[in-house]
Amino acid sequence: MRVTEQMRYDSVANNLSQLSARQAKAAQQAQTGIRVSLPSDDPIAAAQLARLSASQSQITARRSTITSVRGDAELAESSLQQASDLMASAKELAMQGGNGSLGANERAMLAQQVKDIKDQLIGIANTRGTTGYLFAGSATETKPFSTAGAFNGNDDVHVVDIGNSTPTAVNASGAKAFTAAGGRDVFADLDALYTALNTNDVAAIGNSLDGIDQSRSQITTSQAAIGITINKLDASDSVQSALDLQNSKSQSDIGAADPAKAYSTLVQLNNALQQSVSVGKSILDLAAFKQF
């Protein structure tokens, strides 16, 4: 074959430019640690990465939802604990009031204490969290209980996405904890006790005991329910956190460059490039006319 100068130039230039392109790619991978930086680097991997990053975004959103609602759920639980304690105190007052040795004045004093308990309980039932009134259902901007104990809220649930297949309700129901919707109207029971004590009606005091007990257990049931919700949130969080880890690992498995391999490829190509340059130089030096 007849070899001309142009062929030599072309072949040296072609080989160098091809090697340079591969070397640049390898250098980019080694430097960034990213194997799939453009969809065409690996189309299937790029499509998977797009879906994984969508999943990751959903997981992140769920975890931040869990963090965000968990605070209110905990606040609701501790509020209900306090409410339950208050009801226990009310029961003690009722027991004291039932003691036959007490006089009307002493019972009136006990009645005053029951009234204080009711006020405190209304305060607790009107607790505000980050999302508004905790026990108001969806009417989070309306004070759920009046000073008399009338309910202005509703029994709507606050549903959020924490990764469960069914929507998870994360609020404690004020209606079920404090009003007749749960079986007993807690404030009416306290009112009954107050009236019985105030009117020095020993029989009525005895009768109110049962209602106070039922009210307390109603509050305790609600407390347990929100406790279960908190457990669910925690369980979901650990599931989402595991998914998060798995997702990150998949993304890195699919999209990241193996550092050892990337580096050795780069070194290999660097050497090849250097060699190619010196070979190219000697090829271009070869021209016979220089010898004439």
Partner 1 sequence: MAGLTQLLNVARDALTAQSYGLNVTGQNISNASTPGYVRRVAQLETQNLGSQSGGGVRAVGLERVTNDFIERRESQATGTSSAATTRDQTLASIEALFNDGGGTGLGSALNDVFASFSALAANPNDTTTRANVLAAAGAFADRANATGNTLAQTSIDLKQQAQDGVDQINQRAQEIAKLNMEIAQATMQGDDASDLKDQRTEKILNMSGLINTHTFTDGSGNTVVQVAGTTIVDGQHARSLSLDLDSNGALQLFANQSGGGRSEITQFLTGGKLGGIKEARDKDLFDVSQKLNALVFDVATAVNTQHAAGVGADGGTGRNLFDIGSSSTNAARDLRVSVDVFDHPDRIAAASNVFSTPGGSDNALALSKLFDTQIAVGNSKTAAQAYGDLIGSIGSTRANSQRDVETQGAILTQVQSMHQSQSGVSLDEEMVNLTKYQNAYQAASKMIGVADQLMQTLLNTVGR
Which residues sit at the interface with partner 1, rule CB under 8 A?
1-7, 10-11, 14, 34, 36-44, 46-51, 53-55, 57-58, 60-62, 64-65, 68-69, 130-132, 136-141, 154, 156, 158-161, 167, 255, 287-289, 292
The CB-of-255 to partner 1 minimum distance in angstroms stands at 7
Name the residue nearer to partner 1 (CB basis): 40 or 282. 40
Name the residue nearer to partner 1 (CB basis): 91 or 232. 232
The CB-of-59 to partner 1 minimum distance in angstroms stands at 10
The CB-of-33 to partner 1 minimum distance in angstroms stands at 12
From CA 201, how far away is CA 209, in angstroms rounded? Answer: 13
- The Cα-based distances of 209 to 84, 188, 198, 204, 222 in angstroms read 15, 13, 15, 9, 20
The CB-of-280 to partner 1 minimum distance in angstroms stands at 16
Helix (H) or strand (E) holding 9: helix 5-32
Helices 43-98 and 104-125 sit at what angle, rounded to 10 degrees?
Answer: 170
Name the residue nearer to partner 1 (CB basis): 182 or 255. 255
The number of angstroms, rounded, from the C-alpha of 46 to the middle of its chain's C-alpha atoms is 28
The CB-of-105 to partner 1 minimum distance in angstroms stands at 46
- The Cα-based distances of 92 to 27, 107, 119, 120 in angstroms read 78, 13, 17, 16
Name the residue nearer to partner 1 (CB basis): 13 or 267. 13
Name the residue nearer to partner 1 (CB basis): 92 or 161. 161
The CB-of-170 to partner 1 minimum distance in angstroms stands at 8
The CB-of-24 to partner 1 minimum distance in angstroms stands at 14
Helices 259-284 and 5-32 sit at what angle, rounded to 10 degrees?
Answer: 160
Name the residue nearer to partner 1 (CB basis): 96 or 154. 154
What are the structure tokens assigned to 120, written together? Answer: 């405190």
Name the residue nearer to partner 1 (CB basis): 3 or 260. 3
Query: CB within 8 A of 201, min separation 6: which ones?
Result: 195
The residue assigned the tokens 């006319």 is 289
What's the chain's length in residues?
292
Name the residue nearer to partner 1 (CB basis): 212 or 233. 233
What are the structure tokens assigned to 215, written together? Answer: 């009210």
From CA 18, how far away is CA 23, in angstroms rounded? Answer: 9
From CA 155, how far away is CA 181, in angstroms rounded? Answer: 9
The CB-of-216 to partner 1 minimum distance in angstroms stands at 27
From CA 220, how far away is CA 211, in angstroms rounded? Answer: 14
